[in-house]
Chains A and B, each alone.
Chain A
Amino acid sequence: QKEVEQNSGPLSVPEGAIASLNCTYSDRGSQSFFWYRQYSGKSPELIMFIYSNGDKEDGRFTAQLNKASQYVSLLIRDSQPSDSATYLCAVIGTGGFKTIFGAGTRLFVKA
C-alpha cells in the first residue's frame, strides 16, 4: 500500500516566523510532488509542485525534495494569520495517474 505520511499537527507559529511542513512517501518510483492548502470546508488549492531534487521557491513558499530520503517539505516564510489552514502533501506514484494525499498538517499562525 503506497502511503504519504504527514504530521497532523497542529503546528503553531507566531506571525512572521518560518513554518516548516514535512512529508514522507513510500513509493520510491514517485516522480511528482505537490503541496495543496485546504481551508476548512473548502477544496484543495495548489501551492507548489516539484519534480526534481533540491529546492524550488515561489514567493514566500519553498518546496524541498529529497528522493533518496523519500522526503518532501514546504517552508512558508513570513507566516501570516491567513496562512492558517491544513497543508496537504500529494504524490503521484509510479504509473503516473493516481495521486495519493497525506492526511494533512494543520498550521496555525498566531497574530
Chain B
Amino acid sequence: EPEVTQTPSHQVTQMGQEVILRCVPISNHLYFYWYRQILGQKVEFLVSFYNNEISEKSEIFDDQFSVERPDGSNFTLKIRSTKLEDSAMYFCASSERESNQPQHFGDGTRLSIL
C-alpha cells in the first residue's frame, strides 16, 4: 500500500538554526499538509498546500515557517531560527482528489531543539 514517507525520523538542532523536514506524499495525491504535535498535546494543523501554493495556514504558521514543493515528489517544511518550543513531532499528510478527503499521515519527524 502506498505511504507517505518522512525524513529524517529524528532531527536534533541547536536553537537558532534552520531545519528542513522532508516528505514524499503518496504519488497520485494532490493535497499536502503539515501538522505538529508537541509531546502530550493534540495534533495541530500548520498548513495545507495545493496546486503549488498554500491553501490555508494556521496562526502557528508564521514567518518562521515556509513550505515548498521543489520537484514532483518532495514536499518540505522549513523552520528558520528554531526555538526551544519548536520541539515536537512534525507530521506530513496527503489526500487524494479533494481537500475534504481522508488524509494519510507519514510516520513523522521528531524535532528536538537544544
Contacts and interface: CB of A to CB of B under 8 A. Distances in A.
Interface residues of B, number: 26
Contacts of A13: none
Interface stretch (B11-19, B42-50, B64-72, B73-81): B42-50
A99 B101 CA distance: 11
B104 A32 contact: no
Given A97-B48, A101-B35, A101-B42, 20 more contacts: A32-B100, A32-B101, A34-B102, A36-B105, A43-B91, A43-B105, A43-B108, A90-B43, A92-B99, A92-B100, A95-B56, A96-B99, A97-B50, A97-B55, A97-B56, A97-B99, A98-B58, A99-B45, A101-B44, A102-B42
B106 interface: yes
B96 interface: no
Nearest to B106: A43
29 contacts: A31-B100, A32-B101, A34-B102, A36-B105, A42-B107, A42-B108, A43-B89, A43-B105, A43-B108, A44-B91, A46-B102, A46-B103, A46-B104, A46-B105, A49-B101, A51-B100, A92-B100, A96-B98, A97-B31, A97-B48, A97-B99, A98-B58, A99-B33, A99-B35, A99-B45, A100-B45, A101-B42, A103-B41, A104-B42
Contacts of A45: 105
B86 to A, nearest CB: 19
Interface in B26-61: 31, 33, 35, 41-45, 48, 50, 55-56, 58
Interface residues on A, range: 20 to 34
Interface string A24-65: 000000011010100000111110010100000000000000
Contacts of B105: 36, 43-46
A23 interface: no
Q: Which of A44, A46, A90, A101 has the most CB of B within 10 A?
A: A44
